[in-house]
Amino acid sequence: MADPELHVKINSLICEGTAYCVRINPDVFGIGTDGLGEVLVDRPAPEFEDSLEEAATLCPTRAITY
């Protein structure tokens, strides 16, 4: 069951399509047709929080919030 406190977003204005987030968590993140990151599951389960933190920190442009 999704945790309502985890709400994943990618700021498309600053995302640069490095796809690092996809490498960390391909269940939550993907690459859109525009080559930029897209959120596949915007309200994931709590067990995803650690990987979300890693993805958000690793993103070179810090485009991810959750």
Partner 1 sequence: METIRDMEPPPHIIGIKHFVDYKTVDEILKSKNFRQGSHQESQPFFGDSLLTIDHGEHFERRRLEAPLFRKEALEYYEREELLPLISSSLEECEQNRGADGLVRADLCLLVRNMLARISAVTTGIDGVDTPERTDAFRTYVEQLGTGATVEWSTEDHGEVIERILAIRQGFVEEFYGPSVERRCELIDQFRAGQISEDDLPRDLLTLMYLHWNEDWDDELPLREATLYTVASSQTTTHAVPHMMMHLHEWFEVHPEDYEKRFDREFLKRAGHEAIRLHLPSPALLRIALEDVTLSNGIEIAEGERVACLFTPANRDTSVFGDDAKSFDPYREVPDVKPWGFAFGGGEHTCIGRTLVTGLSARTDGDEGTDGTLVNIALALFGAGIELDPEEMPAFTELSYHDAYGRFPVILRDL
Contacts with partner 1 by CB under 8 A lie at 9, 11, 13-14, 16-18, 20, 23-24, 53-54, 57-58, 60-63, 65
**How many Å apart are CA 14 and CA 44, to the nearest integer?**
22
- Between the alpha carbon of residue 36 and those of residues 12, 40, 45, the distances in Å are 7, 13, 23
Q: Two tokens at 3?
A: 């945790």
Q: How far is the CB of 13 from partner 1 (least distance, A)?
A: 6
Closest distance of CB 15 from partner 1, Å: 10
Least distance (Å) between residue 14 CB and partner 1: 5
